[in-house]
Amino acid sequence: MAKDKCNCEECPEWPLSMADMMTNLLCFFILLVSIANFDETKYQAISEAMLEGMGGEKEDAVMSEDMEAEFELQQTIQVIMQDLKVLFGDEEKEIELEYRKNAVAIKLKGKKIFKPGSASFHEKAFDVLDRVAAILNGIPFPVSIEGHTDSIPISSSAFPSNWELSGARAAAVTRYFISKGLSKDLVKVVGRADTMPIGSNETPAGRAINRRIEILVSPS
């Protein structure tokens, strides 16, 4: 009997990309751990002795360590950014990536994730959330999940204002990520309401981009 052939149209390509990305992340964090396992006391003593012999000052050593830490931080952020781009490609309709100082912002568009005026997920939201969760589970850094709304007031039994709505949406995303393995010790939930717009609340298009979830990954 002939074996059934795989219907390629039904096989998504992103799991393979995700597997490669997670392997790269594993290697990267093993390297970080190996670098981190050194005797700080001996390092400091040798550093001070060398500086004294060359006529340097202790402040120079501190500055050098700060510069090295900043470099490692920026390198880590670049790795996270690149892996996110590999996993999501050019899916601008679902997710937007933004490099910030000492952090990477993953923006999920509210219209694609939540039902109108609600903290309940669309069915199509789970594919995006699962892929983000897979990345967060491999990153041992603090994560801040923020809910944002437009400026149109909401008043319902569940959400008396946009503060409650934005907080509930951020909490819903956080609970889902924790159910997928994210450590609750690393995550913070924030409701921003309409206090941080990125578009004009005077137009439908602007209000649409203001309704969003922002996931901030900060290696610092």
What residue segments make up the domains of the chain, in order of their start?
14-217
- Token pair for 200: 């004009």
pLDDT for 35 equals 47
What is the CATH superfamily name and number for domain 14-217? OmpA-like domain (3.30.1330.60)
pLDDT for res 93: 63
Cα end-to-end span (Å), the chain: 58
The pLDDT value recorded for residue 26 is: 58
Which pLDDT does position 97 carry in this prediction?
84
Residue located via tokens 């990520």:
177
Tokens 């924030």 locate to 190
**pLDDT value at residue 180:** 94
Amino acid making up residue 132:
V
**Alpha-carbon distance 23 to 170, whole Å?**
29
Cα(94)–Cα(110) distance, integer angstroms: 9
pLDDT tens-place values along the chain, 220 residues long: 544 555 555 556 666 666 666 666 655 555 555 445 445 555 565 556 555 555 555 555 455 677 877 777 777 777 777 777 777 766 556 788 888 877 889 999 988 899 999 999 998 899 889 988 988 887 888 999 999 999 999 988 899 999 999 999 999 999 999 999 999 999 999 999 999 999 999 999 999 999 999 999 887 6
> What is the reported pLDDT for 83?
74
Q: Write down the pLDDT at residue 174.
A: 97
**Predicted local distance difference test score (pLDDT) of residue 67:** 81
* Nearest residue to 131 (alpha-carbon basis) of 89, 76, 93: 89
Q: Which two tokens stand for residue 29?
A: 């964090």
